[in-house]
Structure 1
Amino acid sequence: MNAQWRAVARPDARLQAYDWAGLADELDAHGCAMLEALLSPKECMALARLYADDGRFRSRVVMGRHGFGRGEYRYFDYPLPDVVAELRGAAYPLLVPIANRWNASMGLAVRYPASHAEFIERCHAAGQRRPTPLLLQYGADDYNCLHQDLYGEHVFPLQLAILLSEPGRDFSGGEFVLTEQRPRMQSRVEVVPLRQGDAVLFAVHQRPVQGTRGSYRVNMRHGVSRVRSGHRHTLGIIFHDAT
């Protein structure tokens, strides 16, 4: 399926067209997987422009004030923009089999329901009622420290980030970075080469790795390296809500 077809199809149709068996293998092996050309350039630009619309968001975070890095981000308020809500609802059921398999492999009792609406009900019942999809904005010398997006008791173990700007044209530097910390080993780094409209699926907190004595848990963190010039925008889609 080509990128032009993806650009006009609904998010659920676009997502269904990817090789999910292959994506699951990538997530198992590396803790991340790319979905090329998930959004069109037009959609990316429209989402990036929303950053200036105060009425769309519940809060704004300036990273430097909290030691998170440099740059800023804004959490969307409900109702979410259509494309964000549709991507969140359509991606979740495709990720549930991976999430449940990971938890079983790591000896965790939590299992996730089939639909995102059911999972959000679980979050809201536990007091996690604030939406977590967000737009991030970086300028020259901005960066995002390595972190994990944990917002309460209920955490979905995978999330999605979509690059809305074009490397080499809109900005330079600013690579998406993952680190993995295995027990008694030094950290492993993964740099994901995103283009405008590309998405990366990645582990929020922990993922299982098969060892000689069975599966064990490894700790994952993600961030963005220093933007050297220009401006970079990203859409983050987190599937659990926040307290």
Structure 2
Amino acid sequence: MIWDADLYKTKHAFVFEYGNSLIGDWLQPQAGETVLDLGCGTGELTAQLGATGALVTGIDASPEMIATARQSFPEVAFEVGDATNFSLPQQFDAVFSNATLHWVREKEKAINRMYTHLKKGGRLVIEMGGKGNVDSILRTLDRVMQAKGYHYAPFWYFPSPGEYATLLENAGFRVERVHFFDRPTKLADPEKGIVDWLEMFGNHFFANIPENDKQAILQQVQQELRPQVTRDGQLYADYVRLRVAATKI
């Protein structure tokens, strides 16, 4: 998947802005410790981790995101790497991941890579989309696509707390803390926020659909959803988030 790094930073900054409390309240990085930011995107949270005095490395599968991160934060180490098969020459005191792991359908492989790259006793702190995330958008998209003769195929991995905790335990982690919660998320553009969201995060749904039909689908999804996702003139996506803290034992 090719990412539009500029669109990500300008209209979807909430992705990394919501990660601030994950750093301060959950990870609590210490000066001098090594931290891997898995799925670092354009690097804002990686740089924030580095500002604490931690020795941080950011990794992302998107060359476009890494190029933007390196340009914005030249003092931080960034690498291109896939969550399911990356290999770095060191183990870390902590692995941090925000809004990435729901993109990784081969979840056991990603968990293995995180476990392998942690020191014994090292900390894992993640946030990802949880069960029910953006359900209203996906249900509407499914209905509209099928009505227009196209096939909708689920793409993301949104686990329940018990499901993901079990995967971590099976890999050798001790799960310390879990938080599963609704987080309605305001979209940047009150007129076409749903269209922008699907163009940013859901382009894979339209890989073989002509552009005219794609735009018609997007507009219809936006039109049908608008009444139920509008609050005080703003559009909100129905995010459900899963946070987990675990330790390598």
What is the TM-score normalised by the length of structure 1?
0.31
Q: Which has the higher helix share?
A: 2
Q: Which is higher, the Rg of structure 1 or of structure 2?
A: 2
What is the TM-score normalised by the length of structure 2?
0.30
Q: Which has the higher strand share?
A: 1
Work out which structure has the larger RCO, using CA pairs closer than 8 Å and 6 or more positions apart in sequence: 1
